[in-house]
C-alpha cells in the first residue's frame, strides 16, 4: 500500500516543517489564571531565548501562514483557503512533533465563531469574527444556572424586550473565563408562556454593560477558572440576538456541537503523548529509565493505541462531515466522551511516571514541565463534566444513536 501523500502534499509538508524549525522552542507558560486555565484564551508564550510573544501575536502568525482558520474567508479574518483535511492533518502532525504551541482556543474561537458562520447575520459576522479569531475579543458562555445544568432547557434567566432593548435579569454559574471576557453568548428565557425549549433566545452581551456582577469561583486546579455571573436590569440592543426570538435552543445546540469538538482536540492529545514519552525517557525507577520498565512500557503502548485510534476516528468523523455532508452529531458526542476521559487518563499516567514528584503542585522547585501534568489532570476531570457530563453523553448516544429505550422520567415530588 502506498501511503505517500503525493507531490503537492509532500511540498506542503516541507513548508510546514520549515516553519516549525523557525519557531522551534516556543513554549506556553503555565501561569495562574493564564493560558491553560482559559483554554488557551489568554496568557503569553515564551520562546527559548526568553523573549515574550503575546498569545494574539502567535495567533496572527499562524493565521497569516494558513496554519489556523485555514478555510475561514479572509473578509472575516481567516486565511481564506480551501477545506483540505490532509493539509490540516499535516499541520497538526508537524506541530505535534515539533511540540509547538497550538493556536488559541476558547469559547469564542471554538464555539461562537462557527455558530456565527452558520447562523449569524452578515453584520454579526463582520463585527465579531475577525477580532475573536485574532485573539482580541474573548468570549464566555452563559448557559448553566444553579438549577439548569444537565437539564439546560430549565433555565430561568429572563430577557424582556422593552423599548427596543433586551433587559436581562437572573444568574448564570460555572461561567468559564467570564472575568477575562469582553463578551458573553447567553441563553435567556424570552417567552415565559411557551414550552420550555421554545421560550429561549440566544443573546450577545458586552461584559462591561452596567448591572453585570462577576464573582470568581475557585475550581479544583486552585484557579478561579469559572464564575457566578449576576444580571440586574442589564440592557442591550434588540439586534444582539442570534437567530430568531424564541428559537435560541437551535442556536444553542449548534454551539454545543462545536463545544464537544473543541474539548477533545486529538492533535493536542497526541502532542501530550509525545511529551509523556519524553518525560518517560528522563524519569527513573531504581536507577532505570521509566521508558525501559516493562510495566510502564505496556501501559504506554496501550495508551498510544487508544490515542491513535481516537485520532483516526476523529479524521473519519471530520471527513464524513466535510466530504460527505453527513450528520455527525452522535459521533461528536462519542468523541467528547472518549476524548475527555482518555486525556484525563493520559495526564494521570504522567503523574504516576513521576513517582513522588507527581504529588507536587504549583511552585515547587522540583516540579516537572511547569506542573502542567498535575494541572491538566485536574482540569480534564472538569471537562468530563463541562459541555455535558459523560453520563449525559451516554444517555443521548444510547437513546438517539443506538435506539435504546428512553430513560424513565422521575415523578416530581410535590
Q: Where on the chain is the footprint of ligand FAD (CB under 6 A)? A: 140-144, 149-150, 174-176, 225-226, 382, 385-386, 388-389, 391-392, 395, 407
- Of 78 and 339, which has the nearer Cβ to ligand FAD? 339
The tally of CA atoms less than 13 A away on the side-chain side of residue 20 is 20
Q: Strand (E) positions, 243-394?
A: 284-285, 288-289
- How many beta carbons lie within 10 A of that of residue 62, not counting itself? 23
- Of 193 and 407, which has the nearer Cβ to ligand FAD? 407
The tally of CA atoms less than 13 A away on the side-chain side of residue 178 is 30
The tally of CA atoms less than 13 A away on the side-chain side of residue 200 is 21
Three-class SS state of 188 = strand
Find all residues with CB under 8 Å of 143, minimum gap 6, and list them.
Answer: 152, 155, 172, 186, 187, 252
Least distance between ligand FAD and beta carbon 350 (Å): 20
- Of 365 and 408, which has the nearer Cβ to ligand FAD? 408
CA dihedral 261, 304, 45, 54 (to 10 degrees): -20
Least distance between ligand FAD and beta carbon 259 (Å): 9
Helix axes 372-385, 329-353, angle to 10 degrees: 150
Helix axes 266-282, 85-98, angle to 10 degrees: 20
Least distance between ligand FAD and beta carbon 201 (Å): 16
Least distance between ligand FAD and beta carbon 37 (Å): 10
What size, in residues, is the chain?
Answer: 414
**What does the alpha-carbon distance between residue 205 and residue 226 come to, in Å, rounded to a whole number?**
17
- Of 66 and 248, which has the nearer Cβ to ligand FAD? 248
The residues annotated as belonging to the active site are 259
- Of 209 and 390, which has the nearer Cβ to ligand FAD? 390
Least distance between ligand FAD and beta carbon 116 (Å): 18
Least distance between ligand FAD and beta carbon 172 (Å): 6
* C-alpha distances in Å from residue 142, one per residue of 178, 231, 390: 9, 11, 21
Least distance between ligand FAD and beta carbon 236 (Å): 18
- Of 110 and 283, which has the nearer Cβ to ligand FAD? 110
Give the cell for residue 38.
Answer: 482559559
- Write the Ramachandran bin of 274: left for phi over 0, alpha for psi from -120 to 50, otherwise beta: alpha
Three-class SS state of 412 = coil
Which residue's beta carbon is nearest to the bound ligand FAD?
149
- Yes or no: say if 372 and 34 are a contact pair by the CB < 8 Å rule: no
**What does the alpha-carbon distance between residue 314 and residue 293 come to, in Å, rounded to a whole number?**
31
Amino acid at each position: 500500500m502506498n501511503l505517500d501523500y503525493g507531490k503537492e502534499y509532500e511540498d506542503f509538508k516541507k513548508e510546514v516543517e520549515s516553519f516549525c524549525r523557525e519557531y522551534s522552542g516556543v513554549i506556553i507558560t503555565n501561569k495562574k489564571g493564564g493560558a491553560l486555565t482559559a483554554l488557551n484564551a489568554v496568557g503569553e508564550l515564551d520562546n527559548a531565548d526568553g523573549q515574550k510573544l503575546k498569545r494574539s501575536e502567535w495567533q496572527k502568525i499562524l493565521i497569516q501562514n494558513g496554519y489556523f482558520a485555514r478555510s475561514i474567508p479572509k473578509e472575516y479574518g481567516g486565511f481564506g483557503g480551501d477545506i483540505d483535511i490532509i493539509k490540516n492533518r499535516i499541520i497538526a502532525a508537524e506541530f505535534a512533533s515539533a511540540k509547538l504551541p497550538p493556536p488559541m482556543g476558547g469559547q469564542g474561537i471554538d464555539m461562537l465563531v462557527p455558530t456565527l458562520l452558520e447562523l449569524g447575520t452578515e453584520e454579526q459576522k463582520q463585527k465579531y469574527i475577525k477580532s475573536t479569531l485574532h485573539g482580541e475579543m474573548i468570549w464566555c458562555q452563559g448557559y448553566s444556572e444553579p438549577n439548569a445544568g444537565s437539564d439546560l432547557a430549565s433555565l430561568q434567566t429572563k430577557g424582556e424586550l422593552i423599548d427596543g432593548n433586551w433587559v436581562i435579569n437572573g444568574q448564570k454559574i460555572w461561567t468559564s473565563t467570564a472575568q477575562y471576557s469582553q463578551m458573553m453568548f447567553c441563553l435567556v428565557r424570552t417567552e415565559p408562556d411557551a414550552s420550555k425549549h421554545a421560550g429561549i433566545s440566544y443573546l450577545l452581551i458586552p461584559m462591561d454593560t452596567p448591572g453585570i456582577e462577576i464573582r470568581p469561583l475557585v475550581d479544583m486546579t486552585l484557579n478561579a477558572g469559572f464564575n457566578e455571573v449576576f444580571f440586574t436590569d442589564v440592557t442591550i440592543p434588540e439586534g444582539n440576538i442570534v437567530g430568531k426570538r424564541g428559537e435560541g435552543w437551535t442556536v444553542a445546540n449548534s454551539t454545543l456541537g462545536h463545544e464537544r469538538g473543541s474539548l477533545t482536540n486529538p492533535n493536542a492529545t497526541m502532542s501530550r503523548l509525545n511529551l509523556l514519552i519524553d518525560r518517560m525517557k528522563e524519569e527513573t525507577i531504581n536507577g532505570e529509565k521509566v521508558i525501559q520498565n516493562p510495566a510502564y512500557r505496556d501501559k504506554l503502548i496501550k495508551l498510544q493505541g487508544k490515542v491513535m485510534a481516537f485520532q483516526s476516528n476523529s479524521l473519519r468523523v471530520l471527513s464524513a462531515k466535510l466530504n460527505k455532508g453527513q450528520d455527525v452529531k452522535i459521533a461528536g458526542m462519542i468523541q467528547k466522551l472518549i476524548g475527555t476521559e482518555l486525556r484525563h487518563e493520559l495526564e494521570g499516567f504522567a503523574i504516576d511516571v513521576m513517582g513522588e514528584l507527581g504529588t507536587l503542585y504549583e511552585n515547587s522547585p522540583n516540579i516537572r514541565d511547569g506542573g502542567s501534568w498535575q494541572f491538566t489532570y485536574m482540569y480534564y476531570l472538569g471537562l468530563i463534566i463541562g459541555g455535558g457530563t459523560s453520563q449525559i453523553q451516554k444517555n443521548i448516544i444510547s437513546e438517539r444513536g443506538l435506539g435504546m429505550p428512553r430513560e424513565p422520567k422521575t415523578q416530581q415530588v410535590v
